[in-house]
Chains A and B, each alone.
Chain A
Amino acid sequence: MTFRKYLVLAGVTVFAAAGDSMLSHGMKQTGSISIQHLQSVILAVLNPWVAVGIVLLLAFFASYMNALSWADLTYVLPATSLGYVLLALVAKFALHEQISLMRWLGIVLISGGVGFVAGGEALTSHGHQGGSPLAKRGNDGASEADMASVISSGVER
């Protein structure tokens, strides 16, 4: 794990938490949506909170995809669930909301789960399939030259 990879995981966490909270704030202003009034979906997108929330969720998606390119899904999901803890702490210290004992317990459980997964390796899927990443890449139809450059970049590192 390099510093840049930790930065990507932090990006997934922060963008998801910020995007979700802005979206939920905006949706509370626009009210509920039903099948009978589909045009209300378009109105919801025009709300500035919803719009900024969507932009942040796009940033989340880019860093999420980045993380999934070098780590397992079962590693990325728990590692980035700290966003829930982040939201609770923002609610406590920025919005001065009361946090119940149950919520503190939830924060402890999530943090414990993150600690568990962070101690293990990030990528297991290739080894488990019995083939190297290169062999897998070859099956997906990448060119020989491409594979050669993968090998050489591997050697450089």
Chain B
Amino acid sequence: MKHLYTWGGILVVVFFSVVGDILIARAMKQVGDVHALWERSGLWTVVGRVLSNPNFFLGVGAMAAAFFSLLFSLSWGDVSLVAPAAASLTFIANAFAAKIFLHEKVDRRRWIAALLVAAGVALLAG
């Protein structure tokens, strides 16, 4: 029962993390290059563009949900399992999601990078 709770918690954390990352990434692509925008029209234009983007708020909401589900999962399961498992799975799930939803060109180079990092994160906590 405890295992089920722990892995259920991990999957919920991964789900909300990926949704949050994808929405924030989409929002910032819609805002455009912050450096160029800042130089051209000033900081307040950048802030205004971000704050008028609905994807930004949805993304922040999803990230908050990920944060609190991580806190709850940490109180149920072992830190040495929950934190690295969630981080590691998020890297791989994000590569899939970025390819599907953001149309990023996830080539072999990036797959290898995502897998190496995911494996490395899992090992670091071991």
Contacts from A to B (Cβ < 8 Å): 4-5, 24, 27, 32-35, 41, 64-66, 68-70, 72-75, 77-78, 81, 84, 88, 100, 102-103, 105-114, 116-117, 119-120, 124-129, 133, 136-137, 140, 149-150, 153
B123 A73 Cβ-Cβ under 8 A: no
A109 B29 Cβ-Cβ under 8 A: no
Closest residue of A by beta carbon distance from B99: A74
Tell me, rounded to whole Å, the shortest Cβ–Cβ distance linking A73 to chain B.
4
Interface of B is mostly: helix
A153 CA / B122 CA spacing, docked (Å): 44
A65 B50 Cβ-Cβ under 8 A: yes
Measured between beta carbons, the chain A residues less than 8 angstroms from B31 are: 69
Tell me, rounded to whole Å, the shortest Cβ–Cβ distance linking A97 to chain B.
12
Closest residue of B by beta carbon distance from A35: B72
Band of interface residues on B: 35 or more
Measured between beta carbons, the chain B residues less than 8 angstroms from A27 are: 71, 74
A69 CA / B50 CA spacing, docked (Å): 11
With an 8 A cutoff between CB atoms, is B34 at the interface? yes
A72 B104 Cβ-Cβ under 8 A: yes
Contact with A along B20-49 (1 / 0, CB 8 A): 011011011111111110011100000000
B124 A117 Cβ-Cβ under 8 A: no
Tell me, rounded to whole Å, the shortest Cβ–Cβ distance linking B25 to chain A.
4
Contacts from B to A (Cβ < 8 Å): 21-22, 24-25, 27-36, 39-41, 50, 71-72, 74-75, 79, 91, 94-95, 98-99, 102-107, 109-110, 112-117, 119-124, 126
B94 A77 Cβ-Cβ under 8 A: yes
B28 A107 Cβ-Cβ under 8 A: no
B110 A128 Cβ-Cβ under 8 A: no
A111 CA / B32 CA spacing, docked (Å): 29
The 7 residue pairs across chains A and B that have the minimum distance between CB atoms: A106-B123, A113-B116, A109-B120, A110-B120, A32-B75, A124-B105, A106-B124
Partner of B121, one of A110, A124, A149: A110
